[in-house]
Structures are given as structure tokens and as C-alpha cells.
Amino acid sequence: MSNLAPVHSVHFYDNHDSLVDRLTGVVYSGLLVGDSVLMVCTEEHRLKLMQSLERLEIDVREYARKGRFTVCDATEMLAMFMIDGVPDARLFTASVGRFVLEAKKAARSKDEGVTVFGEMVAVLWESGNKAGAIALEQLWNDAMRGQVFHLHCAYPEWLFRGDAAELRQVCELHSHVIDAAAA
């Protein structure tokens, strides 16, 4: 059993570059310590992240070949477990859970660490499915009870302007809050 405690952070970003900078650091540090990294991003952020990692000369293709770096599309991943706007726990475990387990097996750190970034909640929130986003955050928390990994979420901060109660609700579902000036 790992000595590590799970981390479920949320980053409220004010521009796309600040998110990509943070993701670059998350990927780089995770790979450096031997963890596997699973990124579930929108196309825009995925492309910018890959460009940033390339500038740092991180051979993501080699890490991907070894199963230590996996990138998935957020919308495609959501389609694997959402039913009528609600995440299905069984399908979530069968899809996302499988990716996390595969990443854990490929990790080279002593604790078989896995670092996950998920942008699916922001996709749901931005499309108006706030209840689906909250339910997905809760599924992630449930998944973290069964195994230890680090999960990083991100939302554009402008989605919460003027609604402190919604911001607080999202913050309470996370162990760490980053850049939430209004929280």
C-alpha cells in the first residue's frame, strides 16, 4: 500500500496559458519522479500542452510507448460513461478506472504513482450541466477512496463570476484549491 495520500486539486484559471503552464509542470514533475500521467483535455489545451512539452524537449512519444503518458479527449471520454446527462458509476469505473489502473501498472515510481488531469467537469459545467459536473467530481472522490492517485481538475474562473455559492460547492469537493481568488 502506498504511503501517499490522495490529492484532488482544482485550479481556477483566468487564461488558457496559465492552465497550460500548470499542466506542463504537472506532467513534467510526474514523469520525472517515475509516475504515470493521464491527461483528459479539450483539444485546444491538449495541443497547447503538447507544444509546451515539446519546447522542453520532453519525449512524450517515448513515455506514451511505455504506457506512462496517456492523453485522451475530454468530450470522447465523457461519451464513454454519461447517460442522459448523468455520469454512470459503473461505466465510469469501466472506462476511466481502466485508464487509471493501466497507468498505475506502467508507473516506475516506488509507489506506482499516477497523476491525472481531468477537464471533463469543466466541459460539463460550461455546457450548462452543473449537476453532472458535481456528480462527476463525487465519482472521482469515490474512485480515490479505492486507490491513491493525484487528480487535478481545472475550470475557467469566469464560469463562476457572480456565484460564490457555486464556487464554494466546487471547492468543497477538492482537497486543494489553486488560484480561486473569490473562494
Q: What is the pTM of this model?
A: 0.91
Convert 10-44 to b/e letters by CB count within 10 Å (16 or more is b). Answer: bbbbeeeeebbebbbebbeebbeeebbbbbbbbee
pLDDT score for 127: 96
pLDDT score for 179: 72
What is the dotted CATH code of the domain comprising 7-178? 3.40.50.300
Contact 29, 171 (CB under 8 A): no
Q: What is the pLDDT of residues 21-73, one digit of tens each?
A: 999 999 999 999 999 999 999 999 999 999 999 999 999 999 999 999 999 99
User: Which of 44-48, 82-86, 109-113, 158-162 is the least confident region?
Assistant: 109-113
61 Cβ partners below 8 Å, 6+ apart? none
Query: From its phi and psi, is residue 177 left (phi > 0), alpha (psi between -120 and 50) or beta?
Result: beta
Check pLDDT > 50 for residue 86: yes
User: Which of 3-17, 25-39, 122-136, 148-162 is the least confident region?
Assistant: 3-17
Structure confidence at residue 4 as a pLDDT band (50, 70, 90): low
